[in-house]
Amino acid sequence: MYVKNQLLEVEITDITNDGEGVGKLDGYTFFIKDALIGDHVQFIVTKLKKTYGYGKVKTVITPSKYRVKAKCPDARRCGGCQIQELSYERQLEFKRDKVINNLIRLGGFEREFLESAEEPIMGMKDDCFRYRNKAQFPIGYDRQGNLVAGFYAGRTHDIMPIDDCMIGVKENKDILQAVLEWMKSCGISAYDEVCHKGTVRHVLIKKGFASGELMVCLVINADRLIKEKELIDSLLSVADIKSISYSVNREKTNVIMGDSYKTIYGSDTITDSIGNLKFKISPLSFYQVNPVQTRKLYEKALEYADLTGNETVWDLYCGIGTISLFLAQKAGHVYGVEIVSQAIEDARENAKLNKLDNTDFFVGKAEEVIDKLCEKNKDSREDTDEYRMTHPDVIVVDPPRKGCDELCLNTMLKMSPDRIVYVSCDSATLARDLRILCDGGYVMQSFAPCDMFAHTVHCETVVRLSRKNNEQSE
Ligand code: SAH
């Protein structure tokens, strides 16, 4: 009935979870890239299936009332921000709906119940651009053989030169320029992933928003960096940089960073703070990318943990211990667990830096560490630390997108804390895990979505659960 490359017109009536516009023609559904809810568009058919197809906007005939002009000239090609042309207010509504719909569809919760438990989405207040404190730019050549720094276009491996990414910091532009100038004047090549030759693969830039400190790290396909002094001079001529380093990555891989790094100028780390806590950040450590929103997210997690000063708390999937330390300011003792050993070293270091010695950190898979501890401490006496450790008052979890392992959830149920605080970056896996926790004796009391990634389709959510019999006895 329809053919590929055909030009059609349609009214956009919905948005998918991935930010595509949905339009229906005689019962046949099209998912259309760059079309917004409320738009009337002309689009090109790109792919056809039996009952649905895909398309790409050719012209917006009548724009939606939610349509705004993208700040980045390359927003559509880049694909990093899927919904930059949607007004920020409408983006927030979209994210809130996405969370609710996933909880209904994949978690089996009732809409009415969810609406009574929900708190307003925490959006960005002032400028919802330039929020990212970290950027990783691939370096390569364009089709004409010019040296370029940018992002991979859409889902390809073509590097699209980026002059100034609007969700990143202003300094990125000059830093990239300085690196490219240095490469040109010193005859340093860019990495070519097809033939696995050439030197510079990526430039990583991090900025401590509270401290203003900048870090630059070059990822190279060579055992060591040459022309270091020239690089340092070139970088220092454009910005006040606290740390310059390189990381060797000689593998044929999509993983960006190597296993270690070498500092060639300034300090090994930069510092940043969230609230009144300080954190040391290295090129390799995981650190939330939107510090303004991270603070709101952590404060909500702390509020949901409802601590009075004596509680034993677990922070599962703790990274460099940011949430753990937030909690430790109000708890009796906090235990953290994380799979990356370098992150746990950072967590211990950060605990010292903030003089929070009521913390202990474990390296390993969350599910294995807590399961083994429960087994080991099962005969411990009630007034011992061993007992308290495996009978915590509160468990906080902040897993990666794939959510919690089932063994992890079951062990949490066995540990039977009064409250569970679930911090999630994917509402689909959150919904699945909440179903298990609620079937296991917990009640969802409240939840709050939080926008950490403006202009993208991603949304964080914090959920407060409490144990059922606990609730009844209150
Ligand atoms: N709470 C931290 C980090 C959250 S990101 C923060 O806010 O900064 C999720 C973390 O889970 C990552 O650091 C990742 O390394 C870790 N992780 C992934 N799988 C894990 C597992 N099975 N057990 C423990 N940690 C895991």
Q: Which domains, from first to last, does the chain contain? A: 7-67 (2.40.50.140), 134-274 (2.40.50.1070), 290-473 (3.40.50.150)
The 10 Å Cβ neighbour count of residue 196 is 11
> Residue 471: which pLDDT band, with cuts at 50, 70 and 90?
low
Q: pTM for the whole thing? A: 0.93
- The predicted-structure confidence for 300-349, as pLDDT tens digits, reads as follows 999 999 999 999 999 999 999 999 999 999 999 999 999 999 899 999 99
The crossing angle, in degrees rounded to 10, of helices 406-415 and 366-376 is 40
Closest C-alpha residue for ligand 1 atom 22: 365
pLDDT at 474 over 90: no
Q: Is the CB of 314 under 6 A from ligand 1?
A: no
Characterize 453-472 residue by residue with b for buried, 16 or more Cβ atoms within 10 angstroms of its Cβ, and e for exposed: bbbbbbbbbbbbbbbeeeee
C-beta 400 within 6 A of ligand 1: yes
Q: Which residues are 463's β-sheet partners?
A: 422, 447
**Where residue 221 falls among pLDDT bands split at 50, 70, 90?**
very high
Largest CA distance in the chain: 74
Tens of pLDDT, residue by residue over 147-171, are: 999 888 777 788 888 889 999 999 9
* 43 in Cβ contact with 124 (< 8 Å): no
pLDDT at 424 over 50: yes
Share of the chain above pLDDT 90, in %: 90
**Cα–ligand 1 centroid distance for 286 (angstroms):** 9
- Cα gap 474→466, rounded to integer Å: 11
Residue 350 Cβ contacting ligand 1 at under 6 Å: no
In the prediction, which pLDDT does 54 show?
Answer: 97
Sign of the Cα pseudo-torsion (158, 162, 166, 171, in order):
positive
* 219 bridge partner residues: 202, 247
| Integer Cα distance of 78 and 161 in angstroms | 10
Number of H helices, E strands in the chain: 13, 21
Exposed/middle/buried for residue 422 (C-beta within 10 Å: 0-12, 13-18, 19+): buried
Is 249 a pocket residue for ligand 1 (Cβ < 6 Å)?
A: no
Is the minimum distance from the CB of 343 to ligand 1 under 6 angstroms? yes
Residue identifier of the C-alpha nearest atom 11 of ligand 1: 317
For 34-45, what is the mean pLDDT? 97
Examine the pLDDT at 465 and tell me if it is beyond 50. yes
Average pLDDT, the chain: 95
Catalytic residue among 128, 318, 425, 459: 425
Q: In whole angstroms, give the CA distance from residue 265 to residue 282.
A: 14
Question: What is the Cα–Cα distance from 71 to 165, expressed in whole angstroms?
Answer: 9
pLDDT, position 473 = 46
3-state SS, residue 438: helix
Pocket lining: 398 vs ligand 1, CB cutoff 6 Å: yes
Find where tokens 């691939």 sit.
Answer: 138
For ligand 1, atom 13, name the residue with the nearest CA: 319
Cβ atoms of 272 and 133 closer than 8 Å:
yes
Q: Compute CA distances 2 → 6, 9, 26, 60, whole Å.
A: 7, 12, 11, 20
Q: How far is the CA of 340 from the centre of ligand 1 (A)?
A: 8
Local confidence band at 114 (pLDDT 50, 70, 90 cut-offs) = very high
Nearest to 54 by CA among 21, 83, 26, 11: 21
- Structure token digits, residue 199: 């030197």
Q: Is the CB of 366 inside a 6 Å radius of any atom of ligand 1?
A: yes
The tens digit of pLDDT for each residue in 396-421 reads: 999 999 999 999 999 999 999 999 99
The count of residues in the chain is 474
425 a catalytic residue: yes
Residue 470 has pLDDT above 70, yes or no: no
Ligand 1 centroid–CA 259 distance in Å is: 17
Whose alpha carbon is nearest atom 5 of ligand 1? Answer: 400
